[in-house]
Chain A
Amino acid sequence: MTTFAEAFARQAASDLEAFEYLSRSNLPACHRLHYLQMWLEKLCKAYIWLTDDMEDLRWTHNVVAKVLPLMIREHWRRIGFSQPPNLSEIREICREIDLLHPQVDDGGRRPDNVEYPWKDGRGNVFFPAAPPRPFSVLQRLEKSPTGRKLRKAAIVLTRERPIHVKGLH
C-alpha cells in the first residue's frame, strides 16, 4: 500500500518533470516557478514525520524554508561534501520559494506570487505572467553558485537518492 510519504515523493517527481518541461518552453517564468514551488513543497512533505496530532502539516504551504535546508544539509553530510555549504543563503532562497505561493505573503508585505493577480501598496494590480519585475528567485536558482547547488541537491533527492523513510505515514 502506498504511504503518504511515498505518494508525496512520487508526485514531487512528476512536478519536477513539469518544471523541466516548462523551463524549456517560452512561457512566462511564473508557470515554471509554480511547478518549482509545488515540486519542492511536496518533496518536503515526504520527509515530515506526521503523528496523529500533526495532520495539519500535510496541507500547509509554508514548509520549504523550514524543511528543505535540513534535507540538503543531510544529503551533503551523506555524500561527504568537502566544502561547508552556505546554509544561510540556502534558507533565504527557500524562503523566496515559499513566497511564490499566494497564501504565503509575509503578512501582506509580499503579495507577489506565481498564481493569482495581486495589488501593491499603491493600488496597482499586477498578474504573474507580467510581473512588475522578474521573480528574483529564478535568477538566484540559475545564476548563483548556492542556488545551483540547491537545485542540484533537490533533483538528486527527488530522483536518484531519496533519503526519506519510505514507510512513513
Chain B
Amino acid sequence: MLTHSKAVHMPNKEDVAKVLANAHRVTDPEITRIVRLVGENEQDPNEPIKLLEVNAATPPSGVVPIAFAPDPPDIPYPSIVIEVTPDEYAQIVDGKLMLPKGWTIEEVLYSSE
C-alpha cells in the first residue's frame, strides 16, 4: 500500500499542456497561436493532451492529428498535435473545417498577437 509520501505525483493535464505548448513555441518561431482541444473522455489519463497549433509555414493540407506516446516524468500523458495554417484555423473557428468528432476548442495557451 502506498503511503501519502510515496504516492506518485501526477501533474494535471492543464499544466502539462502548458509545458508542451511553451516548448513548441520556443522551438518554432513560426507558430502564432496554440489552443488546447478537449474531447469527451478528458478525465481518462489515457486520453491524449491535444494541441491545435497555427503555423503559416505548414502545408495547407487540413486536419492531421499527430500522436506521441507519453514522455514521463515531464509529459506523463500521450499527446496529439494538429498543425494548421492561419486560414485553416479561421475555417475551424467558423465551423467550415471540422476537427475530429467530439473535440472542441478549450483555451488559448499562446498567441503572438
Using a CB–CB cutoff of 8 Å, the interface residues on chain B facing chain A are 23-24, 26-28, 30, 48, 57-59, 61, 63-69, 71, 78, 80-81, 83, 98, 100-101
How many contacts A-B (CB < 8 Å)?
A: 76
Tell me which residues across on chain A come within 8 A of B81, comparing CB atoms: 70, 74
Tell me which residues across on chain B come within 8 A of A49, comparing CB atoms: 48, 65-67, 80, 100
Q: Is the interface of A mostly helix, strand, loop or mixed?
A: helix
Tell me which residues across on chain A come within 8 A of B64, comparing CB atoms: 48, 57, 63, 66-67
Residue of B nearest to A50 (CB): B65
Q: How large is the interface on A (under 10, 10 to 19, 20 to 34, 35 or more residues)?
A: 20 to 34
CB contact under 8 A between A73 and B67, given known A62-B59, A66-B61: no
For A48, give its contact among B23, B30, B67, B71 (CB under 8 Å): B67
The verdict on A168 contacting chain B, using a C-beta distance below 8 Å, is yes
| Contact present for B58 and A164 (CB under 8 Å) | no
Tell me which residues across on chain A come within 8 A of B67, comparing CB atoms: 47-49, 164-165, 168
What is the distance, in angstroms, from A3's C-beta to the closest C-beta of chain B? 12
CB contact under 8 A between A77 and B69, given known A54-B100, A66-B83: no
Q: How far is the CA of A94 from the CA of B83 in the complex (A)?
A: 15
Residue among A48, A63, A66, A166 with max Cβ neighbours from chain B (10 Å)? A66
Tell me which residues across on chain A come within 8 A of B66, comparing CB atoms: 47-49, 67, 70-71
CB neighbors of B among A50-64 (8 A)? 51-54, 57, 62-63
CB neighbors of B among A102-160 (8 A)? none
